[in-house]
Amino acid sequence: MNSDQYTVVINGKPKGPYSLSQLTDLNITPNTFIRKPGMDDYKEAHAIPELRELLGFTYQKTAPQYFAAFDQRLLASVIDHFIIFGFYTIIILTSYIFIQGKDERISAFLIPFPVIFIVKLVYGIFAESSAAQATIGKRMLNIKVTDLEGTRISFARSLSRNLSKIMSVIPVFFGYFYSFLNKKNQCWHDITADTLVIKDRLI
């Protein structure tokens, strides 16, 4: 399938595929759901840049309605920590080539251990402000970090969000459990940075 072929939801049913030029002959509105190769899910026509240019639509920001649950966010974090821990273990085991004593090896493994959490923090800051808007763990679960309008956050806001996690951790992780009491599943650090963790809308 060529990259310029689109599937269009017409009267509740997927139709197509259509080429970009063929879309001009269809009765497409800004809210028509359309999908093309490479997209994980359908998007409204106004959210696809080439269709806005072709059909003269303007981008309409809409507040997200589907929010990532606590278990999804927790699993994503576990995946990220597991990946980083894997790299950490490989590096430490490699260093054992130069470290012979048992006590020295144990120290070499444990002393740098907090680096895992520092790397996770720094990685989160860059990944969540990137075009993907998510770490590897979040991407595997199809969730991402956005502002309150569902758009990509800046590096500064991502920095604020991730550093604010200390607020969610200190009161025995209550800042994370607060997401159960919030209709948008926001943790304290999300509220502080005006961010959301959303999941893809499904049809």
Percentage of the chain lying above the pLDDT 70 cut: 95
Residue 76: what pLDDT? Answer: 97
- Tell me which of 155 and 22 has the higher pLDDT: 155
Instruction: Categorize the per-residue pLDDT at 89 as very low, low, confident or very high, splitting at 50, 70 and 90.
Output: very high
Q: Give Cα separations from 190 to 53, 120, 144, 161 (angstroms).
A: 34, 17, 12, 6
Token pair 């997209």: residue: 39
Is pLDDT of 63 > 50?
yes
- The whole-number pLDDT of residue 20 equals 83
State the average pLDDT over residues 169-195: 95
Mean pLDDT for 138-148 is 94
Phi first, then psi: give them for residue 145, nearest 5 degrees. Answer: -100, 130
How far apart are the C-alpha atoms of 42 and 139, rounded to whole Å? 17
Phi, psi (degrees; rounded to nearest 5) at 44: -70, 150
Average pLDDT over residues 112-123: 93
Of 18, 77, 10, 23, nearest in space to 52 by CA = 23
> Stretch 118-128: mean pLDDT, rounded?
96
Res 71 pLDDT > 60: yes
pTM of structure:
0.70
Q: Is the pLDDT of residue 203 over 50?
A: no
54-58, 72-76, 78-82: segment of lowest average pLDDT: 54-58
